[in-house]
Structure 1
Amino acid sequence: MRHYRIGDAEFPEETPALQKALAEAFSQKVRPLCLCRPAGVAMYIARFENHYLVKRMPSSGTRHDPSCSSYEPPYELSGLGPLIGDAIRIDDARGTAALRLDFALSKTGSRTAGAHGTSEAPSVKGESKRLSLRGLLHYLWQEGELTEWTALWAGKRGWGRVRSSLLDAARHMKVSGGALSDILFVPEVFQSEAKAAISARRTAALASLVPTAAGRRKLMVLVGEVKETQDARIGRKLLVKHMPDYPLMIDDSVWRRLQKRYAAELALWEADPSLHLIAITTFGLNAAGLPAIEEIALMIATENWIPFETIHEQKLLERLARLKRKSVKGLRFNLGADQPIVCATLPDAKPAAAALYVVPPEADERYEAALADMITARPEMTAWIWRPGDGEMPSLP
């Protein structure tokens, strides 16, 4: 059981007195300390409905003890490593992360940018010192603690919890000097009986998108689950779940590039109705005042909202989902598919935390050499490797 220090008092995680203490600390902007380490690790407090949750600070997971539920694997095992200190700059004093983005949040004219991540040279794209649109989605997912899973949470993670986690994470991220949460729109859970009220709140949240006489249009970032796409008279319409009355327009050329770039994600989503297809877009209002996508990236996730890339990763995640042990999914961020990352980690594996790697059948010598270097750099972790091209999945640590 975790213990927290709030002011001079110490509270076990399950004590009834903790909620009252967290409510007071929330109003006074006091940070609790997680006592998994002797000196404590600073946390922040989030409110979900009328319940208070203690959440880890941006990119602080490596400071926690591996046995702590707030622990995260080392940055170097995922695509986050190359971004820390440049594309993502952590301010420990304020508990925020300043993000440098490689996509625009405003535009002049009517030309649409396109499907993000269509570079023919992903390794070059991976060297970018700015956060890509997909990278931002991965960072939100990781900092929202949505990459973590244990079978004890089965049935407890729906869109309402996902949305709350993303918005909480965004409040601790800065872009262009302001809070990411000010320009991030995540649709709330749709309820037909509250349709008018939900529409009014959405209109208020998107009011800044209305074009001004200056000619430069502001863009916002949307994260939502794809419901379907439909033909339009010109281009396509993207329908987002929980926002059925507010389709987003997609240019024909963008749609074609999207289908090419995300062919694997779209094929997996079409084959398995239990999967979630997550879209992150920059969008604004077109000349007719309709919401139009400027750039878009996609991410496929399991029924438990854990992202994955290949059918082999999906099989591993399905096995991990049945365990009462905590697992943490590694994400690619800006890195290209030709560079290895950890698929998942088991922080509480004994005698040491385990890093689980899935090597694609098409991996070449460079990939294998990079993987060997990654494993050598972390001797304190047990390496588990599955090469699907060589046979069945090995036993888990």
Structure 2
Amino acid sequence: MRQFRIGGDVYADEGPKFQEAVAAAYLRKERPLCLCRDPGCAMYVAQIGGLYVIKRMPLSGGEHDPTCESYESPYTLSGLGALMGSAIQLDAKNGTAALKLDFSLSKTGSRATPVPGDVGSAGVTADQKKLSLLGLLHYLWHEAELTVWTSRWARKRHWWNVRWHLLEAARQMTVKGGQLSDILFVPEPFRVDNKEAIEQRRSTALAAALPPKTGPRKLMVLVGEVKELAPARLGQKVVIKHLPGFPLLIDDTLHRRLLARFEREFSLWDADPSSHLIAVATFGLNPAGLAIVEEIALMIVSENWIPYETTYEKRLVDALARIREKSIKGLRYNLPPDQPIANALLQSRREPFALFIVPAGADEDFEASLQDMIAARAEMRTWIWRIADGDMPALP
């Protein structure tokens, strides 16, 4: 049972007056303190329907005790470490993260449509001082705590709560001084019996993407699950689940490069019907009200919405999904595939384990970086699966 200090008093998260105290803190804009450590770790209160939820501040998970539900692996074990202080700048006073992006949120004239970079050139082109489009999706997924899993949540994570957590996380992020949530569009679950109301809310949400009479066009960011890619009369279209009758249009050039750049994600999606393919895209509306994609990236996630990059990571994610201990999936952000990351963190009682997968053919530089990473976090135990050595070892 967790304990929080709210308004000078201490409350247990399962106590009879907890919701009342949290609701009052929400109205006062007070930050409760998680008492897993002394003097406490600052949190914030979010509202979902009639329920109030205490959530951790951006990137504060490492400050919590390893046994606390809000604990997470140090960001130096993932691609997030290289972005801290540059692409992601924390404001401790108001608890927000200011993001610097390497893609545009406006479009002037007929500038050529941006396309994702080649995988092989990621180490050359990736700018660690700015977030790529895929890096933004990774950061949203991380801060929405959608990288976290325990078997107790089996069959309890659906698109409606994925959407809510993404939007709530975006409210703690700023881009060029404004809230990311103001330009982030995540489609709500579609129901035929509520079609008109949903479409009206969608039109209101997308008003910022309408073309102005003069000046550059503002773009919005969409995060949604891909249903299919299909030919359009003039080009191609991406069909997003929960957006019937509202395709995202892309030209043939972007379509070809999308298929080449994310060939691995498409093949993993095709191989596992239970997985989901997540798209993040910048888009604007043309005068006819149609959504035109400017840049797009893809991420594959398991049936529990946990990201993975390879069949080996999928095996690890599936194995972690079956145990009661909490696991946290590591993400790559802007890092190229030849750089090691902790593929996951396993919170096993009081001993957190960093889980690493070493790909077949890893060179000396990869091994040296891996050993440096392990040495820098001596307080954590490690589990390593070397693909070249055979089958996955038993989990700790």
Separation in 2 of the partners of 1:261 and 1:201?
Answer: 34
1:153 aligns with 2:115: no
1:245 aligns with 2:242: no
Normalised by the length of structure 2, the TM-score is 0.98
**Counterpart residue number, 2:20:** 20
Shift of 1:197: 0.4
**Counterpart residue number, 1:308:** 308
**Counterpart residue number, 2:375:** 376
**Counterpart residue number, 2:133:** 133
Shift of 1:119: 5.8
Separation in 1 of the partners of 2:299 and 2:75?
Answer: 20
Q: Supply the AA of the counterpart residue of 1:69.
A: E
Cα contact 1:2–1:12 (8 A) shared by 2: yes
Alignment of 1:244-393 (within 5 A): 244-286=244-286, 288-350=288-350, 352-393=351-392
Cα contact 2:210–2:286 (8 A) shared by 1: no
Q: Deviations over 1:251-288 (max 9, x none)?
A: 11111111111111101111111001000000002354
Separation in 2 of the partners of 1:120 and 1:385?
Answer: 25
SS in 2 for 1:345: strand
**Counterpart residue number, 1:80:** 80
**Structure 1 pair 119/357, CA: closer, same or farther in 2 (3 Å)?**
closer
Cα contact 1:285–1:292 (8 A) shared by 2: yes
Shift of 1:112: 4.3
Cα contact 2:150–2:323 (8 A) shared by 1: yes
Mean Cα deviation higher: 119-128 or 63-72: 119-128
Number of positions where the alignment pairs a residue of Structure 1 with one of Structure 2: 396
Separation in 2 of the partners of 1:126 and 1:75?
Answer: 18
SS in 1 for 2:245: strand
Cα contact 1:345–1:356 (8 A) shared by 2: yes
SS in 1 for 2:246: strand
Separation in 2 of the partners of 1:9 and 1:349?
Answer: 28
Cα contact 2:228–2:238 (8 A) shared by 1: yes
Mean Cα deviation higher: 80-89 or 22-31: 22-31
Alignment of 1:20-59 (within 5 A): 20-59=20-59
**Structure 1 pair 119/286, CA: closer, same or farther in 2 (3 Å)?**
farther
Q: Supply the AA of the counterpart residue of 2:386.
A: R
SS in 1 for 2:89: strand
Shift of 1:61: 0.6
Normalised by the length of structure 1, the TM-score is 0.97
Cα contact 1:114–1:257 (8 A) shared by 2: no
Separation in 2 of the partners of 1:242 and 1:57?
Answer: 30
Cα contact 1:125–1:335 (8 A) shared by 2: no
Separation in 2 of the partners of 1:68 and 1:104?
Answer: 38
Cα contact 1:222–1:280 (8 A) shared by 2: yes
Q: Deviations over 1:337-362 (max 9, x none)?
A: 11010100112355x31000011113
**Counterpart residue number, 2:4:** 4
Cα contact 1:119–1:125 (8 A) shared by 2: no
